[in-house]
């Protein structure tokens, strides 16, 4: 099992469990106080209630412990995400408007489809060619930003052969929702055969290829040149008269 997946899932379950307990406890207490201290049961308000130092300490210390526990779980996952194994293979990922470009160790490249060997640790060098993107692979619980002028990184272990989704988790422009891809994990022998092919570029930009992997094509793109329909023809000013002011032509009285 991928250690990152386990740590992220454990952290999520822990935080959800705490949230559920707090929700049930607060709701139960609220319902109890609504009936216990209603005007019907207490026509005359009780003025004898005073502050409690013990209660104040408890509602300060208990939330502090819970927050520190959540921080511990979160940091354990974050530390694992940033601790790349030394034997990891390297893949360069470049986000572009609006597709993913991948480059492997031997300079083989592919667009949209990311091929990886099964059971191999993989380090990704993340860059952007234009605007901010975010490389997100939900199945492996990893997401990191691709920022122009900066190289970020992340890693995961492709433990099980199959096809997994790639998404962009940072709004990057009009066609952000079309910036999808696939991680294709295959046995190592099959991956070595693919990556050693003579062809340097593997692209899936044809309509048939996109349809076969269930990736949306961009219906907004068109080759037709758009004209600005808001511009109206320049109208001549019909109010203008001769350069000389017509008032000057009024005869002065003798």
User: What is the rounded average pLDDT of the residues 18-35?
Assistant: 93
What average pLDDT score do residues 242-247 get?
A: 44
The answer to whether the beta carbons of residues 183 and 158 sit under 8 Å apart is yes
Whether residue 213 is predicted with pLDDT greater than 80 in this model: the reply is no
By CB atoms closer than 10 A (0-12, 13-18, 19+), residue 29 is exposed
- Answer yes or no: is pLDDT of 236 > 70: no
Domains in the chain, CATH or no CATH each: 3-40+52-82 (no CATH), 89-212 (2.60.40.420)
Mean predicted confidence (pLDDT) in 115-124: 93
| pLDDT tops 90 at residue 68 | yes
Is 3 a residue whose pLDDT tops 60? yes
- Distance CA(200)–CA(183), nearest Å, equals 19
pTM of the predicted protein model: 0.70
Closest C-alpha among 135, 128, 129, 121 to residue 89: 121
Q: State the pLDDT at residue 153.
A: 95
**pLDDT, tens digit, 9 for 90 and up, residues 143-152:** 999 999 999 9
| Orientation angle between helical segments 53-82 and 3-36, nearest 10 degrees | 160
Judged by DSSP in three states, 203 sits in: coil
Which one, of 141, 187, 181, 184, lies nearest residue 163 by Cα?
184
Compute the average pLDDT of residues 185-213: 66
What pLDDT was estimated at residue 205? 43
Paired with 92 in beta bridges are: 103, 125
**Which DSSP state fits 138?**
G
CB 112 within 8 A of CB 100: yes
Q: What is the mean pLDDT of residues 224-248?
A: 46
Query: What's the confidence (pLDDT) of residue 229?
Result: 42
Averaged pLDDT, 229-241: 47
Question: What does the pLDDT average to over 55-66?
Answer: 92
**pLDDT greater at residue 209 or residue 38:** 38
pLDDT of 48: 72
Q: What is the pLDDT of residue 158?
A: 83
Within its chain, how far is the Cα of 102 from the centroid?
Answer: 19
The conformation of residue 231, written as its DSSP 8-state character, comes to P
Q: 94 with 111: CB under 8 angstroms? A: no
Mean pLDDT across the chain: 81
140: pLDDT strictly greater than 60: yes
Residue 108 CA to residue 114 CA, distance in Å, equals 11
Cis peptide before 98 (omega within 30 of 0): yes
Position 88 pLDDT exceeds 60: yes
Compute CA distances 137 → 87, 99, 164, 182, 254, whole Å: 21, 14, 8, 9, 96
Cross-strand partners of 126:
93, 152
43 versus 35: the higher-pLDDT residue is 35
Q: Given this model, what pLDDT does residue 198 score?
A: 54
Phi, psi of 84 (to 5 degrees): -80, 130
Query: Chain-centre distance of CA 245, in angstroms?
Result: 67
């Amino acid at each position: 099992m991928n250690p990152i997946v386990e740590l992220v899932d454990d952290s999520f379950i822990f935080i959800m469990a705490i949230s559920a307990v707090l929700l049930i406890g607060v709701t139960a207490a609220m319902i109890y106080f609504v009936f216990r201290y209603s005007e019907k049961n207490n026509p005359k308000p009780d003025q004898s209630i005073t502050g409690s130092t013990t209660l104040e300490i408890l509602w300060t210390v208990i939330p502090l412990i819970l927050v520190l526990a959540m921080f511990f779980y979160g940091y354990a996952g974050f530390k694992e995400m940033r601790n790349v194994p030394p034997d990891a293979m390297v893949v360069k990922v470049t986000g572009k408007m609006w597709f993913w470009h991948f480059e492997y160790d031997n300079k083989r490249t592919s667009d949209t489809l990311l091929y990886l060997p099964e059971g191999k640790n993989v380090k990704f060098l993340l860059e952007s060619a234009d605007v901010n993107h975010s490389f997100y692979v939900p199945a492996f619980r990893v997401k990191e930003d691709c920022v122009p002028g900066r190289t970020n990184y992340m890693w995961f272990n492709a433990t099980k052969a199959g096809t997994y989704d790639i998404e962009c988790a940072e709004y990057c422009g009009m066609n952000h929702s079309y910036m999808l891809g696939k991680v294709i994990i295959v046995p190592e022998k099959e991956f070595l055969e693919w990556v050693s092919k003579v062809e340097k570029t593997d692209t899936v930009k044809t309509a048939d290829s996109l349809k076969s992997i269930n990736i949306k094509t961009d219906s907004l793109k068109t080759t037709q040149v758009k004209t600005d329909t808001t511009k109206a023809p320049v109208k001549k000013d019909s109010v203008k008269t001769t350069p000389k002011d017509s008032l000057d032509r009024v005869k002065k009285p003798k």
